[in-house]
């Protein structure tokens, strides 16, 4: 029985491919293409999971969604202790923290940024356009951008303390954290004053397993330097 990754182009499922490559697990990819206008996943993904969001992984009869849950499942079921700190250690707590933080705390302001950038530059009836733009720009500068700065400053200082998020070794929490950091670079820009974040991206992008996952996954502009 083969693991199948239901993979949407330019999406969070890229990091599941990376994890599978790091663990050396065989898998198949079923591809889904975003609608170029709305960027939404095709309806066919809803046949696999009711939300129709990527990643979804099937392993025999089991169908799993939500990238954090998928990462935990794969590491527990197939990892043999790899990519996870030993139980009872401080690193294990940090591992769990970052695994949750990536989707629970880092992604919401990044998603808001994406949405409000689109509202700001998207179509609107001409008589409303100045108003729509002013509101979007106000929400961004008063709320979204300061929140993003807060998170990026925090991540920068955390990576200044240890090489990887949970400690001195790469863990699956780094794989989970890669998406918000790649998205931050592409949506908000990471300047030279965030050297630890930039070095993190360079280090992960140089890993053979990351490169193999990119080759198999295809289109993923977020990794482009």
- In angstroms, give the least distance from the CB of 101 to ligand GSH: 12
Least distance from ligand GSH to the Cβ atom of residue 41, Å: 4
Piece of the chain touching ligand GSH by CB under 6 A; list 5-13, 156-164, 204-212, 217-225? 5-13
Draw the binding track, 81-120, toward ligand GSH (x: CB under 6 A; -: no contact): ----------------------x-----------------
The one among 6, 7, 11, 74 contacting ligand GSH by CB under 6 A: 11
The C-alpha atoms of residue 20 and residue 33 are separated, in whole angstroms, by 21
State the Cα angle at 14 between 56 and 172, rounded to 5°.
90
Position 171 contacts ligand GSH (CB under 6 A): no
135/128 Cα distance (integer angstroms)? 11
Total residues at the site for ligand GSH (CB under 6 A)?
A: 12
Q: What is the DSSP letter of 56?
A: E
- Residue 177 as a binder of ligand GSH (CB under 6 A): the answer is no
- Asked if residues 7 and 30 have their Cβ atoms less than 8 Å apart, the reply is yes
Task: Give kind and range of the element (H or E) at residue 71.
Answer: helix 67-78
Instruction: Determine how β-strand 3-8 pairs with β-strand 27-32.
Output: parallel
Residues at the contact surface with ligand GSH, assessed by CB under 6 A: 8, 11-12, 40-41, 52-55, 66-67, 103
């Amino acid at each position: 029985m083969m693991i199948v990754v239901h993979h949407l182009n330019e999406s969070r499922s890229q990091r599941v491919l990376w994890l599978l490559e790091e663990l050396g697990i065989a898998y198949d990819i079923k591809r889904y293409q975003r609608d170029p206008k709305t960027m939404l996943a095709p309806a066919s993904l809803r046949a696999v999971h009711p939300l129709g969001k990527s990643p979804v992984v099937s392993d025999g009869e089991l169908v799993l969604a939500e990238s954090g849950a998928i990462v935990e499942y794969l590491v527990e079921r197939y990892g043999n202790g790899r990519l996870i700190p030993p139980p009872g250690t401080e690193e294990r707590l940090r591992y769990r923290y970052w695994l949750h933080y990536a989707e629970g705390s880092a992604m919401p302001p990044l998603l808001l940024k994406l949405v409000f950038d689109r509202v700001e530059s998207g179509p609107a009836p001409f008589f409303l356009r100045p108003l729509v733009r002013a509101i979007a720009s106000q929400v961004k500068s008063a709320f979204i951008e300061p929140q993003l700065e807060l998170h990026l400053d925090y991540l920068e200082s955390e990576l200044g303390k240890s090489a990887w998020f949970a400690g001195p070794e790469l863990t699956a929490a780094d794989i989970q954290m890669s998406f918000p950091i790649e998205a931050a670079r592409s949506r908000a820009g990471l300047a030279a004053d965030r050297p630890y974040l930039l070095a993190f991206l360079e280090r992960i992008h140089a890993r053979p397993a990351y490169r193999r996952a990119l080759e198999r996954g295809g289109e993923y502009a977020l990794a482009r330097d």
